[in-house]
Amino acid sequence: MDELDSTLVRLLQRDGRRSNRDLAQELGIAPSTCLERVRSLRERGVLLGFHAEVDLPSLGRGLQAMIAVRVRPPTRAVIERFQRFVLAMPEVLSVFALTGTDDFLLHVAVRDMDHLHAVVLDKLTERQELADVRTSVVYRHLRNTVIEPL
């Protein structure tokens, strides 16, 4: 990636709905060059897609939590089966596969504490492969919306 690609990625992360003409004008390049650069970034897998960011409380998901999970036995089949299960849960936003004490960290968004309690007790602990589960409520979720290349 050159400086032009890096700047283009930064601009698109700030606002993925900007028009090609607007991007080209800000970068000082022809619209056709800009379009080709965006196409190349997508083909190379730098840009994975464009999405709308939503307000979770507006969707009835005002409470977020991180759930650390350990499964046993730690075989490929058990891990892959558990991954498929949690990815299918509507409450799950992200699944992180880890090294160390925990095997997974689940980022969930639910209605309230009762809903979180039900997710843990009625969905997760019912799984035979679940060896341990720890839940932490998220007070605030902050994130960088623009990721710079290193």
Report the side by side order of strands in the sheet with 92-97: 92-97, 104-110, 63-71, 130-138
pLDDT at 150: 82
Task: Give the tens place of pLDDT for each residue, 107-119.
Answer: 999 999 999 999 9
Residue 34: CB atoms within 10 Å: 22
Count the Cβ atoms, other than its own, within 10 Å of residue 149. 10
> Number of helices and strands (H, E) in the chain?
5, 4
CB 110 within 8 A of CB 65: yes
pLDDT digits (tens, 9 = 90+) for 83-100: 999 999 999 999 999 999
d(C-alpha 48, C-alpha 77), whole Å: 28
pTM of the shown model: 0.86
Q: Map out the domains of the chain with their CATH numbers.
A: 3-43 (1.10.10.10), 56-138 (3.30.70.920)
| pLDDT tens per residue across span 49-94 | 988 889 999 999 999 999 999 999 999 999 999 999 999 999 999 9
Q: Rounded to an integer, what distance in angstroms lies between the CA atom of residue 135 and that of residue 150?
A: 33
